[in-house]
Amino acid sequence: MADSPLSSRIMRDLKRVEEELERVVFSDEGELCEASLTMLRGGGKRLRPALVLISGQVGSYDFESLILAAVAVELIHMASLIHDDIVDSADFRRGLPTVSSTKGLHVATAAGDFLFATALVLLSGLRSGGIEAVRMMAEAVNILSLGQIRQMEMAHRVDQNMEDYLQMIWSKTAVLFATSCRLGGLISGAEEEEVDFLGRYGDNLGMAFQIYDDVLDITGTEESLGKPVGIDLKEGTVTMPILFALEETRFERELCAAIESPSLTEEEVRRGMEIILNTRALERSKEEAKKYVERAIDSVRLLSKPEVREELVSIGKFAIDRYH
């Protein structure tokens, strides 16, 4: 991460995580390896593995065990993105062609399944806490799957409320942030109370990151996002900025029609974005995201290791400074 809030120790250990990710992906041969490598080389912040490592400092920092969990978390994230792209019929992610667009739906589905399974196998090999780690991750994968189904069911519907949206982003994003933090604490042998603090931090940070991501879908550029802007509106995904815009415009007919349409033209997407930009929806959404970051920071005030507190607080402040 450029201008990263992470310590030199975590940055160094993340390089080992990256090497291990490549090794795991190359352990298979043929199309699954190629498909998985496509996703891996697309890059990413590797924030979830970083959270595993940082949280692992709360107890005894057993890097050889933590690296397995860090790799497993990123494999789960990669798998979920492959499956998201299948569902969304997405052609690009992070500026590169998606696995489904280059390898086809069958290979992409198999690649996602391969990564899910590999992650659970890695966790089962932990020296201690493996059974609980597998249970924790399997539960997270289940919630991720339900979140994706829920998003599909709610697409192109304007009869949604903020509670629906918050439940959806918890399922599709925050749960894996929280699981990353809990895994690190669990593997390090942290006290149950501290594992709970870490989980709450991850929950709130994940919520904030998804809200900021939904704002960027409107304010960003195709170059910075690695995909077309306004994709949420085009796919009928009702995000926080869209909900606020609907509220402020009193469900303006043109915006409602854009959300409900299964096939918007580029001009209709542009017009829908213009309507949103003419409200306070983006400012209000960023303020809500900031509140989640502040809750995340409050969640770790009582952690026993000051260096862990400082690093987690630094990530939260970095998010606010970067996206505000």
CA distances 167 to 114, 172, 205, 207, Å, are: 27, 9, 15, 10
Residue 262, burial from CB neighbour count under 10 angstroms (0-12, 13-18, 19+): exposed
**Residue 131 forms part of a structural domain:** yes
Per-residue pLDDT, 4: 78
What's the pLDDT tens digit per position in 88-118? 777 877 777 888 888 888 888 888 898 999 9
Helices 240-248 and 281-299 pack at an angle, to 10 degrees, of 130
CATH number of the domain within which 21 lies? 1.10.600.10
**Residue 3 forms part of a structural domain:** no
Per-residue pLDDT, 324: 67
> In which residue are the tokens 């493996």 written?
130
**Residue 214 forms part of a structural domain:** yes
**Residue 157 forms part of a structural domain:** yes
Domain that holds residue 84: 8-323
What's the pLDDT tens digit per position in 121-147? 999 999 878 899 999 999 999 999 999
Per-residue pLDDT, 263: 92
Which segments of the chain have a pLDDT < 70?
1-3, 28-29, 43, 226, 324
pTM of the predicted model, to two decimals? Answer: 0.93
**Residue 2 forms part of a structural domain:** no
Per-residue pLDDT, 227: 72
Q: Is residue 259 a contact partner of residue 154, using CB atoms and an 8 Å limit? A: no
Q: Rounded distance, CA 215 to CA 230, Å? A: 10
**Residue 1 forms part of a structural domain:** no
Per-residue pLDDT, 304: 92
Count structural domains, the chain.
1
**Residue 130 forms part of a structural domain:** yes
Q: Position 164: which residue type?
A: D
Per-residue pLDDT, 2: 47
**Residue 70 forms part of a structural domain:** yes
Token couple for 179: 């699981």
